[in-house]
Amino acid sequence: MPHASDTIVTRFAPSPTGFLHIGGARTALFNWLLARKHGGQFLLRIEDTDKARSTQEAIDAILEGLTWLGLDWDGDPVSQSARADRHAEVAEQLLAGGHAYKCFATPEENAAAREAVRAEGRAFLGDLWRDRPHGPETEGKPFVIRMKMPREGNTVVDDAVQGQVTVANGVLDDLVLLRADGSPTYMLSVVVDDHDMGVTDVIRGDDHLNNTFKQVQIYRAMGWDCPRFAHIPLIHGADGKKLSKRHGALGVEAYRDMGYLPEALRNYLLRLGWSAGDEEVIPTKRALEMFSLDGVNKGAARFDFDKLDSINAQYLRHMSPEAVMPTIEPFINAQLDRPVDEDEKARILRALPSLLERAKRYDDLSDAAILFCNTRPLNLSEKAAKQLTADNRVLIGDAIKELEKLADFGADQCKAALALVAEAHDLRLGKVMQPVRAALTGGKPFGDLGELVEILGRAETLGRLRDQYSPGTD
RNA sequence: GGUCCCUUCGUCUAGUGGCCUAGGACGUCGCCCUUUCACGGCGAAAACACGGGUUCGAGUCCCGUAGGGAUCACCA
Protein backbone atom coordinates (compact mmCIF):
# COMPACT_ATOMS: atom_id res chain seq x y z
CA MET A 1 0.00 0.00 0.00
CA PRO A 2 1.74 3.17 -1.13
CA HIS A 3 1.62 6.18 1.11
CA ALA A 4 -1.28 8.45 0.35
CA SER A 5 0.80 11.58 0.13
CA ASP A 6 4.38 12.68 0.10
CA THR A 7 4.04 14.27 3.51
CA ILE A 8 6.98 13.46 5.71
CA VAL A 9 6.27 11.55 8.89
CA THR A 10 9.13 10.91 11.29
CA ARG A 11 9.18 9.50 14.76
CA PHE A 12 11.34 9.28 17.83
CA ALA A 13 11.02 5.95 19.60
CA PRO A 14 12.91 5.77 22.88
CA SER A 15 12.68 2.88 25.28
CA PRO A 16 11.82 4.27 28.70
CA THR A 17 14.62 2.71 30.69
CA GLY A 18 16.37 5.94 31.67
CA PHE A 19 16.68 9.63 30.94
CA LEU A 20 16.88 11.19 27.48
CA HIS A 21 20.58 10.87 26.83
CA ILE A 22 22.51 13.09 24.52
CA GLY A 23 22.59 10.65 21.62
CA GLY A 24 18.84 10.16 21.79
CA ALA A 25 18.39 13.90 21.91
CA ARG A 26 20.31 14.27 18.68
CA THR A 27 18.31 11.52 17.01
CA ALA A 28 15.12 13.27 18.10
CA LEU A 29 16.46 16.58 16.82
CA PHE A 30 17.17 15.20 13.36
CA ASN A 31 13.75 13.62 13.15
CA TRP A 32 12.12 16.82 14.34
CA LEU A 33 14.11 18.93 11.90
CA LEU A 34 13.24 16.81 8.91
CA ALA A 35 9.54 16.75 9.76
CA ARG A 36 9.28 20.44 10.56
CA LYS A 37 11.29 21.48 7.55
CA HIS A 38 8.82 19.77 5.26
CA GLY A 39 5.71 20.63 7.19
CA GLY A 40 5.30 17.00 8.13
CA GLN A 41 4.64 15.20 11.37
CA PHE A 42 6.98 14.31 14.20
CA LEU A 43 5.56 11.45 16.23
CA LEU A 44 6.56 9.94 19.51
CA ARG A 45 6.43 6.29 20.38
CA ILE A 46 7.44 4.85 23.70
CA GLU A 47 8.96 1.42 23.18
CA ASP A 48 7.92 -0.09 26.45
CA THR A 49 7.52 -3.71 25.46
CA ASP A 50 10.11 -4.69 28.04
CA LYS A 51 7.84 -4.17 31.01
CA ALA A 52 10.47 -5.11 33.53
CA ARG A 53 12.78 -2.27 32.56
CA SER A 54 10.28 0.41 31.59
CA THR A 55 9.25 3.02 34.12
CA GLN A 56 6.88 5.95 34.21
CA GLU A 57 9.67 8.10 35.65
CA ALA A 58 11.73 7.44 32.55
CA ILE A 59 8.84 8.35 30.28
CA ASP A 60 8.38 11.61 32.17
CA ALA A 61 12.08 12.37 32.02
CA ILE A 62 12.19 11.82 28.27
CA LEU A 63 9.15 13.98 27.64
CA GLU A 64 10.57 16.71 29.86
CA GLY A 65 13.88 16.52 28.09
CA LEU A 66 12.28 16.90 24.68
CA THR A 67 10.17 19.77 25.92
CA TRP A 68 13.16 21.56 27.38
CA LEU A 69 14.99 21.13 24.10
CA GLY A 70 12.02 22.63 22.31
CA LEU A 71 11.25 19.54 20.26
CA ASP A 72 7.47 19.39 20.14
CA TRP A 73 5.76 16.28 18.88
CA ASP A 74 2.43 15.75 17.15
CA GLY A 75 -0.41 13.93 18.86
CA ASP A 76 -0.15 11.78 21.93
CA PRO A 77 2.85 9.53 22.40
CA VAL A 78 2.05 5.99 21.28
CA SER A 79 2.63 3.28 23.81
CA GLN A 80 4.05 0.27 22.06
CA SER A 81 2.92 -2.16 24.73
CA ALA A 82 -0.69 -1.13 24.16
CA ARG A 83 -0.45 -2.45 20.63
CA ALA A 84 0.61 -6.00 21.46
CA ASP A 85 -2.58 -7.49 20.06
CA ARG A 86 -2.04 -5.84 16.71
CA HIS A 87 1.55 -7.11 16.65
CA ALA A 88 0.41 -10.63 17.40
CA GLU A 89 -2.16 -10.35 14.65
CA VAL A 90 0.56 -9.54 12.14
CA ALA A 91 2.62 -12.46 13.39
CA GLU A 92 -0.35 -14.74 12.76
CA GLN A 93 -0.71 -13.34 9.25
CA LEU A 94 2.94 -13.99 8.58
CA LEU A 95 2.47 -17.53 9.86
CA ALA A 96 -0.61 -18.09 7.73
CA GLY A 97 1.17 -16.72 4.68
CA GLY A 98 4.05 -19.11 5.09
CA HIS A 99 6.53 -16.36 5.95
CA ALA A 100 6.90 -17.57 9.51
CA TYR A 101 6.92 -20.85 11.37
CA LYS A 102 6.61 -22.29 14.82
CA CYS A 103 9.80 -23.18 16.63
CA PHE A 104 9.68 -25.58 19.55
CA ALA A 105 13.34 -25.40 20.47
CA THR A 106 14.01 -24.66 24.12
CA PRO A 107 16.32 -21.80 25.10
CA GLU A 108 18.90 -24.40 26.08
CA GLU A 109 18.75 -26.07 22.68
CA ASN A 110 19.14 -22.73 20.95
CA ALA A 111 22.07 -21.78 23.15
CA ALA A 112 23.82 -25.07 22.45
CA ALA A 113 23.27 -24.73 18.72
CA ARG A 114 24.45 -21.14 18.78
CA GLU A 115 27.66 -22.09 20.51
CA ALA A 116 28.33 -24.92 18.11
CA VAL A 117 27.75 -22.81 15.01
CA ARG A 118 29.74 -19.92 16.33
CA ALA A 119 32.67 -22.19 17.02
CA GLU A 120 32.75 -22.68 13.25
CA GLY A 121 32.93 -18.92 12.80
CA ARG A 122 29.40 -18.57 11.55
CA ALA A 123 26.34 -16.84 12.92
CA PHE A 124 23.49 -18.87 14.37
CA LEU A 125 20.38 -18.55 12.27
CA GLY A 126 17.90 -19.80 14.86
CA ASP A 127 16.57 -22.25 12.33
CA LEU A 128 16.36 -25.47 14.33
CA TRP A 129 12.69 -25.95 13.40
CA ARG A 130 12.70 -24.15 10.08
CA ASP A 131 12.08 -27.22 7.95
CA ARG A 132 11.27 -29.68 10.65
CA PRO A 133 7.85 -31.30 10.56
CA HIS A 134 5.77 -30.93 13.72
CA GLY A 135 5.22 -34.43 15.02
CA PRO A 136 2.80 -35.36 17.78
CA GLU A 137 5.62 -34.77 20.31
CA THR A 138 5.15 -31.02 19.85
CA GLU A 139 1.60 -31.27 21.07
CA GLY A 140 1.06 -28.82 23.93
CA LYS A 141 4.69 -27.75 23.99
CA PRO A 142 5.54 -24.03 24.12
CA PHE A 143 6.74 -22.45 20.91
CA VAL A 144 7.81 -19.14 19.46
CA ILE A 145 6.98 -17.84 16.03
CA ARG A 146 10.03 -17.19 13.89
CA MET A 147 10.39 -15.32 10.65
CA LYS A 148 11.32 -17.53 7.74
CA MET A 149 14.10 -15.47 6.21
CA PRO A 150 15.10 -15.88 2.58
CA ARG A 151 18.37 -17.76 2.18
CA GLU A 152 19.24 -16.81 -1.38
CA GLY A 153 20.18 -13.43 -2.78
CA ASN A 154 20.94 -10.15 -1.08
CA THR A 155 19.04 -7.50 0.78
CA VAL A 156 19.92 -3.95 -0.13
CA VAL A 157 19.11 -0.97 2.02
CA ASP A 158 19.38 2.41 0.39
CA ASP A 159 20.23 4.46 3.43
CA ALA A 160 20.11 8.25 3.34
CA VAL A 161 23.27 8.44 5.41
CA GLN A 162 25.08 5.16 4.91
CA GLY A 163 24.43 4.87 1.21
CA GLN A 164 23.64 1.57 -0.44
CA VAL A 165 24.41 -1.23 1.99
CA THR A 166 24.16 -4.82 0.88
CA VAL A 167 24.05 -7.95 2.97
CA ALA A 168 23.74 -11.57 1.95
CA ASN A 169 20.40 -13.07 2.94
CA GLY A 170 22.23 -16.15 4.09
CA VAL A 171 23.41 -14.38 7.23
CA LEU A 172 19.95 -13.17 8.25
CA ASP A 173 18.67 -15.20 11.18
CA ASP A 174 15.12 -16.42 11.60
CA LEU A 175 14.32 -13.87 14.25
CA VAL A 176 11.63 -14.42 16.83
CA LEU A 177 8.45 -12.49 16.12
CA LEU A 178 6.29 -13.76 18.96
CA ARG A 179 7.67 -15.10 22.21
CA ALA A 180 6.45 -18.26 23.87
CA ASP A 181 4.18 -16.17 26.10
CA GLY A 182 2.60 -14.65 22.99
CA SER A 183 4.22 -11.23 23.43
CA PRO A 184 5.74 -9.54 20.38
CA THR A 185 9.43 -8.80 20.07
CA TYR A 186 10.91 -5.41 19.31
CA MET A 187 11.79 -6.47 15.77
CA LEU A 188 8.13 -7.14 14.94
CA SER A 189 6.74 -4.21 16.90
CA VAL A 190 8.85 -1.51 15.25
CA VAL A 191 7.93 -2.63 11.79
CA VAL A 192 4.22 -2.89 12.51
CA ASP A 193 4.12 0.40 14.40
CA ASP A 194 6.14 2.33 11.87
CA HIS A 195 3.88 1.03 9.15
CA ASP A 196 0.64 1.65 11.02
CA MET A 197 1.74 5.13 12.08
CA GLY A 198 2.53 5.99 8.48
CA VAL A 199 6.17 6.74 9.20
CA THR A 200 7.92 7.70 5.97
CA ASP A 201 11.41 8.34 7.30
CA VAL A 202 13.10 6.32 9.99
CA ILE A 203 16.06 8.23 11.40
CA ARG A 204 17.80 6.34 14.18
CA GLY A 205 21.20 5.44 15.57
CA ASP A 206 23.40 3.31 13.34
CA ASP A 207 23.38 0.58 15.95
CA HIS A 208 20.13 -0.36 14.22
CA LEU A 209 21.61 -0.68 10.76
CA ASN A 210 22.10 -4.43 11.04
CA ASN A 211 18.52 -4.87 12.21
CA THR A 212 17.25 -3.05 9.19
CA PHE A 213 17.93 -5.89 6.78
CA LYS A 214 15.76 -8.19 8.82
CA GLN A 215 13.04 -5.62 9.24
CA VAL A 216 12.98 -5.06 5.50
CA GLN A 217 12.07 -8.74 5.10
CA ILE A 218 9.09 -8.29 7.36
CA TYR A 219 7.90 -5.31 5.31
CA ARG A 220 8.24 -7.37 2.16
CA ALA A 221 6.47 -10.42 3.54
CA MET A 222 3.56 -8.21 4.54
CA GLY A 223 3.57 -6.47 1.19
CA TRP A 224 4.23 -3.10 2.81
CA ASP A 225 6.36 -0.28 1.47
CA CYS A 226 9.55 0.30 3.38
CA PRO A 227 10.11 3.73 4.84
CA ARG A 228 13.27 5.61 3.92
CA PHE A 229 16.03 4.81 6.38
CA ALA A 230 18.73 7.07 7.74
CA HIS A 231 21.16 5.59 10.24
CA ILE A 232 23.09 8.30 11.96
CA PRO A 233 26.36 7.57 13.73
CA LEU A 234 26.56 7.34 17.48
CA ILE A 235 28.19 10.03 19.57
CA HIS A 236 31.43 9.09 21.30
CA GLY A 237 33.03 10.50 24.40
CA ALA A 238 36.03 12.82 24.33
CA ASP A 239 38.32 9.79 24.51
CA GLY A 240 36.78 8.28 21.38
CA LYS A 241 35.18 5.46 23.28
CA LYS A 242 31.53 4.76 23.31
CA LEU A 243 29.67 7.27 25.42
CA SER A 244 29.30 6.06 28.95
CA LYS A 245 27.94 7.76 32.01
CA ARG A 246 31.47 8.80 32.89
CA HIS A 247 31.93 11.12 29.97
CA GLY A 248 28.93 12.87 28.63
CA ALA A 249 26.19 10.27 28.33
CA LEU A 250 24.19 12.43 30.63
CA GLY A 251 20.52 13.18 30.43
CA VAL A 252 19.68 16.47 28.78
CA GLU A 253 18.50 17.75 32.13
CA ALA A 254 22.10 17.48 33.30
CA TYR A 255 23.07 19.92 30.57
CA ARG A 256 20.29 22.19 31.67
CA ASP A 257 21.61 22.05 35.23
CA MET A 258 25.12 22.78 34.01
CA GLY A 259 23.79 26.02 32.64
CA TYR A 260 23.45 25.42 28.93
CA LEU A 261 20.78 27.02 26.79
CA PRO A 262 18.53 24.58 24.94
CA GLU A 263 19.09 26.56 21.72
CA ALA A 264 22.82 26.24 22.12
CA LEU A 265 22.74 22.53 22.87
CA ARG A 266 20.53 22.05 19.85
CA ASN A 267 22.96 23.99 17.69
CA TYR A 268 25.89 21.99 19.00
CA LEU A 269 24.12 18.66 18.56
CA LEU A 270 23.23 19.58 15.02
CA ARG A 271 26.80 20.47 14.11
CA LEU A 272 28.16 17.31 15.74
CA GLY A 273 28.57 15.04 12.78
CA TRP A 274 26.57 17.20 10.45
CA SER A 275 27.48 20.20 8.38
CA ALA A 276 26.50 22.24 5.39
CA GLY A 277 29.52 24.35 4.64
CA ASP A 278 31.33 26.44 7.20
CA GLU A 279 28.43 27.81 9.22
CA GLU A 280 28.79 27.22 12.93
CA VAL A 281 26.11 29.30 14.58
CA ILE A 282 22.87 27.92 13.27
CA PRO A 283 19.75 28.97 15.16
CA THR A 284 16.71 26.79 14.70
CA LYS A 285 15.15 29.02 12.09
CA ARG A 286 18.26 28.76 9.98
CA ALA A 287 18.59 25.04 10.71
CA LEU A 288 15.12 24.51 9.35
CA GLU A 289 16.21 26.14 6.09
CA MET A 290 19.47 24.27 5.78
CA PHE A 291 18.81 20.84 7.20
CA SER A 292 19.19 17.84 5.01
CA LEU A 293 20.23 14.27 5.69
CA ASP A 294 22.93 14.70 3.04
CA GLY A 295 25.09 16.60 5.46
CA VAL A 296 25.29 13.81 8.02
CA ASN A 297 28.69 12.17 8.30
CA LYS A 298 29.08 8.44 8.51
CA GLY A 299 31.75 8.32 11.17
CA ALA A 300 31.10 8.72 14.87
CA ALA A 301 31.89 12.13 16.33
CA ARG A 302 33.36 12.91 19.71
CA PHE A 303 31.61 15.08 22.20
CA ASP A 304 33.55 18.25 23.00
CA PHE A 305 32.52 20.38 25.94
CA ASP A 306 34.83 23.24 24.96
CA LYS A 307 33.03 23.74 21.71
CA LEU A 308 29.65 23.44 23.38
CA ASP A 309 30.76 26.17 25.80
CA SER A 310 31.81 28.37 22.96
CA ILE A 311 28.51 27.98 21.13
CA ASN A 312 26.63 28.51 24.35
CA ALA A 313 28.55 31.72 25.04
CA GLN A 314 27.54 33.09 21.68
CA TYR A 315 23.87 32.44 22.35
CA LEU A 316 24.18 33.85 25.86
CA ARG A 317 25.57 37.09 24.48
CA HIS A 318 22.36 37.73 22.60
CA MET A 319 20.10 37.27 25.59
CA SER A 320 18.47 40.23 27.30
CA PRO A 321 19.06 40.75 31.05
CA GLU A 322 15.34 40.40 31.67
CA ALA A 323 15.22 37.05 29.89
CA VAL A 324 18.26 35.74 31.68
CA MET A 325 17.32 36.78 35.20
CA PRO A 326 14.64 34.16 35.92
CA THR A 327 16.96 31.40 34.77
CA ILE A 328 19.98 32.39 36.80
CA GLU A 329 18.00 33.17 39.91
CA PRO A 330 17.91 29.54 41.10
CA PHE A 331 21.64 29.23 40.45
CA ILE A 332 22.27 32.38 42.49
CA ASN A 333 20.00 31.30 45.31
CA ALA A 334 21.82 28.00 45.48
CA GLN A 335 25.19 29.67 45.78
CA LEU A 336 23.93 32.25 48.25
CA ASP A 337 22.08 29.59 50.20
CA ARG A 338 19.23 32.11 50.50
CA PRO A 339 16.97 33.92 48.06
CA VAL A 340 18.38 37.04 46.39
CA ASP A 341 16.68 40.18 47.59
CA GLU A 342 15.17 42.83 45.34
CA ASP A 343 18.00 45.26 45.85
CA GLU A 344 20.55 42.69 44.76
CA LYS A 345 18.45 41.72 41.79
CA ALA A 346 18.25 45.31 40.65
CA ARG A 347 22.04 45.58 40.80
CA ILE A 348 22.50 42.34 38.90
CA LEU A 349 20.07 43.48 36.24
CA ARG A 350 22.19 46.59 35.70
CA ALA A 351 25.39 44.59 35.55
CA LEU A 352 24.05 41.86 33.29
CA PRO A 353 24.78 43.51 29.92
CA SER A 354 28.41 43.59 30.90
CA LEU A 355 28.37 40.16 32.55
CA LEU A 356 26.79 38.50 29.54
CA GLU A 357 29.72 39.58 27.39
CA ARG A 358 32.07 37.14 29.03
CA ALA A 359 29.93 34.33 30.42
CA LYS A 360 30.00 30.85 28.98
CA ARG A 361 27.12 29.25 30.80
CA TYR A 362 24.39 30.16 33.22
CA ASP A 363 26.37 28.74 36.08
CA ASP A 364 29.46 30.89 35.60
CA LEU A 365 27.21 33.81 34.78
CA SER A 366 25.48 33.47 38.12
CA ASP A 367 28.82 32.95 39.77
CA ALA A 368 29.90 36.30 38.37
CA ALA A 369 26.59 37.89 39.33
CA ILE A 370 27.13 36.98 42.98
CA LEU A 371 29.54 39.88 42.89
CA PHE A 372 26.57 42.19 43.21
CA CYS A 373 25.07 40.45 46.19
CA ASN A 374 25.76 41.33 49.79
CA THR A 375 28.28 38.68 50.67
CA ARG A 376 30.73 40.58 52.82
CA PRO A 377 33.36 39.79 53.72
CA LEU A 378 34.38 38.61 50.29
CA ASN A 379 36.43 35.51 49.74
CA LEU A 380 39.61 36.56 47.98
CA SER A 381 41.10 34.62 45.13
CA GLU A 382 44.81 33.94 45.37
CA LYS A 383 45.48 36.58 42.77
CA ALA A 384 43.34 39.15 44.54
CA ALA A 385 44.95 38.42 47.89
CA LYS A 386 48.33 39.04 46.34
CA GLN A 387 47.21 42.51 45.33
CA LEU A 388 46.46 43.45 48.89
CA THR A 389 49.94 44.18 50.13
CA ALA A 390 50.54 46.50 53.06
CA ASP A 391 51.38 49.34 50.66
CA ASN A 392 48.27 48.74 48.65
CA ARG A 393 46.12 48.73 51.75
CA VAL A 394 47.32 52.26 52.39
CA LEU A 395 46.07 53.16 48.94
CA ILE A 396 42.74 51.61 49.73
CA GLY A 397 42.55 53.67 52.89
CA ASP A 398 43.11 56.83 50.87
CA ALA A 399 40.57 55.70 48.32
CA ILE A 400 38.00 55.32 51.07
CA LYS A 401 38.66 58.89 52.22
CA GLU A 402 38.29 60.30 48.74
CA LEU A 403 35.19 58.28 47.94
CA GLU A 404 33.52 59.28 51.21
CA LYS A 405 33.73 62.91 50.11
CA LEU A 406 31.67 62.19 47.01
CA ALA A 407 28.15 63.52 46.89
CA ASP A 408 27.38 61.73 43.66
CA PHE A 409 28.57 58.13 43.50
CA GLY A 410 28.68 57.90 39.71
CA ALA A 411 31.23 56.03 37.66
CA ASP A 412 33.08 59.13 36.49
CA GLN A 413 33.18 60.77 39.91
CA CYS A 414 34.51 57.61 41.49
CA LYS A 415 37.21 57.26 38.90
CA ALA A 416 38.16 60.89 39.43
CA ALA A 417 38.43 60.22 43.13
CA LEU A 418 40.79 57.32 42.48
CA ALA A 419 42.81 59.53 40.16
CA LEU A 420 43.36 61.92 43.06
CA VAL A 421 44.73 59.06 45.14
CA ALA A 422 47.05 58.05 42.34
CA GLU A 423 48.25 61.61 41.96
CA ALA A 424 48.93 61.99 45.66
CA HIS A 425 51.12 58.92 45.62
CA ASP A 426 52.66 59.75 42.28
CA LEU A 427 51.34 56.50 40.82
CA ARG A 428 49.66 55.52 37.60
CA LEU A 429 45.91 55.18 37.87
CA GLY A 430 46.13 51.48 37.14
CA LYS A 431 48.27 50.93 40.21
CA VAL A 432 45.45 52.22 42.36
CA MET A 433 42.70 50.50 40.41
CA GLN A 434 44.20 47.07 40.76
CA PRO A 435 44.05 46.78 44.54
CA VAL A 436 40.72 48.60 44.68
CA ARG A 437 39.35 46.13 42.14
CA ALA A 438 40.72 43.22 44.11
CA ALA A 439 39.06 44.45 47.29
CA LEU A 440 35.80 45.06 45.51
CA THR A 441 35.57 41.86 43.47
CA GLY A 442 37.66 39.41 45.43
CA GLY A 443 39.16 38.42 42.10
CA LYS A 444 36.02 37.94 40.05
CA PRO A 445 35.96 39.38 36.58
CA PHE A 446 33.97 42.45 35.73
CA GLY A 447 34.27 45.21 33.15
CA ASP A 448 34.91 48.82 33.94
CA LEU A 449 35.77 49.60 37.55
CA GLY A 450 33.76 52.82 37.51
CA GLU A 451 30.67 50.95 36.39
CA LEU A 452 31.26 48.36 39.08
CA VAL A 453 31.42 50.99 41.81
CA GLU A 454 28.37 52.79 40.51
CA ILE A 455 26.26 49.65 40.49
CA LEU A 456 27.56 48.45 43.83
CA GLY A 457 26.58 51.76 45.41
CA ARG A 458 28.12 53.79 48.17
CA ALA A 459 27.46 51.57 51.18
CA GLU A 460 28.56 48.28 49.65
CA THR A 461 31.61 49.82 47.97
CA LEU A 462 32.90 51.50 51.09
CA GLY A 463 32.07 48.44 53.15
CA ARG A 464 34.11 46.14 50.93
CA LEU A 465 37.02 48.57 50.90
CA ARG A 466 36.97 48.88 54.67
CA ASP A 467 36.99 45.12 54.97
CA GLN A 468 40.36 45.10 53.32
CA TYR A 469 41.73 48.28 54.81
CA SER A 470 41.14 47.19 58.36
CA PRO A 471 39.91 43.66 58.24
CA GLY A 472 37.43 42.61 60.82
CA THR A 473 36.75 46.02 62.35
CA ASP A 474 33.85 46.96 60.15
C1' G B 1 35.20 -14.92 15.42
C1' G B 2 31.01 -13.82 11.40
C1' U B 3 28.51 -9.62 9.18
C1' C B 4 28.14 -4.36 8.36
C1' C B 5 30.15 0.61 8.81
C1' C B 6 34.04 4.24 9.42
C1' U B 7 39.30 6.72 9.00
C1' U B 8 41.33 15.07 6.64
C1' C B 9 44.74 19.58 12.07
C1' G B 10 44.19 17.57 19.52
C1' U B 11 38.41 17.95 18.52
C1' C B 12 33.94 19.10 15.05
C1' U B 13 34.37 19.60 9.99
C1' A B 14 34.91 21.88 4.31
C1' G B 15 36.49 19.09 0.27
C1' U B 16 32.30 14.79 -4.94
C1' G B 17 39.79 14.12 -10.02
C1' G B 18 42.89 19.85 -11.57
C1' C B 19 39.94 25.98 -7.83
C1' C B 20 44.34 22.37 -2.23
C1' U B 21 50.58 26.18 -1.15
C1' A B 22 44.21 21.41 1.98
C1' G B 23 39.58 26.13 4.04
C1' G B 24 36.46 27.22 8.62
C1' A B 25 35.25 26.50 13.91
C1' C B 26 36.68 25.01 19.09
C1' G B 27 41.01 24.41 21.83
C1' U B 28 46.44 25.81 22.17
C1' C B 29 50.33 29.58 21.59
C1' G B 30 51.87 34.72 20.40
C1' C B 31 50.86 39.90 19.60
C1' C B 32 47.54 44.17 20.04
C1' C B 33 43.65 46.83 22.65
C1' U B 34 42.24 48.40 27.52
C1' U B 35 46.39 53.94 32.73
C1' U B 36 41.86 48.24 35.88
C1' C B 37 39.56 42.01 35.52
C1' A B 38 37.82 40.15 31.34
C1' C B 39 35.88 40.35 26.45
C1' G B 40 37.51 41.36 21.81
C1' G B 41 40.78 41.99 17.39
C1' C B 42 44.93 40.13 14.69
C1' G B 43 48.34 36.26 13.77
C1' A B 44 50.87 31.37 14.32
C1' A B 45 51.62 26.20 15.02
C1' A B 46 48.58 22.04 13.68
C1' A B 47 45.73 17.02 9.35
C1' C B 48 44.58 13.99 4.06
C1' A B 49 46.16 6.38 8.84
C1' C B 50 49.67 3.25 5.77
C1' G B 51 50.90 0.59 1.11
C1' G B 52 49.81 -0.41 -3.76
C1' G B 53 47.21 0.70 -8.19
C1' U B 54 43.92 3.69 -12.04
C1' U B 55 44.91 8.61 -14.33
C1' C B 56 48.48 13.60 -17.80
C1' G B 57 46.91 14.63 -12.68
C1' A B 58 44.23 11.65 -6.28
C1' G B 59 42.46 14.12 0.00
C1' U B 60 38.88 12.98 -3.86
C1' C B 61 38.24 6.48 -7.75
C1' C B 62 39.84 0.92 -6.96
C1' C B 63 42.41 -2.95 -4.01
C1' G B 64 45.00 -4.37 0.28
C1' U B 65 46.93 -3.48 5.40
C1' A B 66 46.37 -1.31 10.07
C1' G B 67 43.24 1.04 13.53
C1' G B 68 38.28 2.28 15.32
C1' G B 69 33.01 1.40 15.75
C1' A B 70 28.25 -1.28 15.43
C1' U B 71 25.84 -5.86 15.66
C1' C B 72 25.34 -11.13 16.27
C1' A B 73 19.02 -12.69 22.66
C1' C B 74 12.20 -15.53 23.47
C1' C B 75 16.61 -6.74 25.17
C1' A B 76 15.15 -2.68 22.78
Catalytic site residue from A141, A241, A245, A298: A245
pLDDT at position A196 over 60: yes
Q: How far apart are CA A100 and CA A213, in angstroms?
A: 16
Q: What is the pLDDT of residue A100?
A: 96
CA of A184: nucleotide with nearest C1': B74
CA of A213: nucleotide with nearest C1': B4
Q: What is the pLDDT of residue A68?
A: 96
Question: What does pLDDT average to over chain A?
Answer: 90
Can you tell me the mean pLDDT for A4-16?
A: 86
Question: Can you give the distance from the CA of residue A449 to the C1' of nucleotide B32 in angstroms?
Answer: 22
pLDDT at position A247 over 70: no
pLDDT digits (tens, 9 = 90+) for A455-471: 999 999 999 999 988 65
Q: How far apart are CA A339 and CA A350, in angstroms?
A: 18
Question: Can you give the distance from the CA of residue A212 to the C1' of nucleotide B54 in angstroms?
Answer: 35
Which residue's alpha carbon is at the shortest distance from the C1' of B71? Answer: A210
Question: Can you give the distance from the CA of residue A472 to the C1' of nucleotide B40 in angstroms?
Answer: 39
Question: Can you give the distance from the CA of residue A418 to the C1' of nucleotide B49 in angstroms?
Answer: 61
Q: Which nucleotides of B are covered by protein (CB under 7 A)?
A: 1-8, 10-15, 23-27, 35-40, 68-76
For residue A4, name the pLDDT band (cuts at 50, 70, 90): very low
Which residue's alpha carbon is at the shortest distance from the C1' of B1? Answer: A121
Q: What is the pLDDT of residue A1?
A: 39
pLDDT digits (tens, 9 = 90+) for A201-236: 999 999 999 999 999 999 999 999 999 999 999 898
Can you tell me the mean pLDDT for A171-192?
A: 95
Q: What is the pLDDT of residue A69?
A: 96
pLDDT digits (tens, 9 = 90+) for A404-450: 998 888 888 999 999 999 989 988 888 899 999 999 999 888 988 99
Question: Can you give the distance from the CA of residue A303 to the C1' of nucleotide B48 in angstroms?
Answer: 22
pLDDT digits (tens, 9 = 90+) for A63-82: 999 999 999 999 999 999 99
Can you tell me the mean pLDDT for A33-52?
A: 93
Question: Can you give the distance from the CA of residue A32 to the C1' of nucleotide B60 in angstroms?
Answer: 33
Which residue's alpha carbon is at the shortest distance from the C1' of B68? Answer: A240
Which residue's alpha carbon is at the shortest distance from the C1' of B37? Answer: A445
CA of A271: nucleotide with nearest C1': B12
Known catalytic residue at A245: yes
pLDDT at position A473 over 50: no
Which residue's alpha carbon is at the shortest distance from the C1' of B11? Answer: A304
Can you tell me the mean pLDDT for A312-331?
A: 93
CA of A357: nucleotide with nearest C1': B39
Question: Can you give the distance from the CA of residue A324 to the C1' of nucleotide B22 in angstroms?
Answer: 42
pLDDT digits (tens, 9 = 90+) for A372-413: 999 888 888 888 888 888 888 889 999 999 999 988 888 889
For residue A245, name the pLDDT band (cuts at 50, 70, 90): low
CA of A354: nucleotide with nearest C1': B39
Question: Can you give the distance from the CA of residue A23 to the C1' of nucleotide B58 in angstroms?
Answer: 35
| pTM, rounded to two decimals | 0.91
Lowest model confidence (mean pLDDT) among A138-147, A181-190, A240-249, A362-371? A240-249
Q: What percent of chain A has pLDDT over 70?
A: 96
Q: How many CA atoms lie within 13 A of A458 on its CB side?
A: 11
CA of A119: nucleotide with nearest C1': B1
Which residue's alpha carbon is at the shortest distance from the C1' of B12? Answer: A272
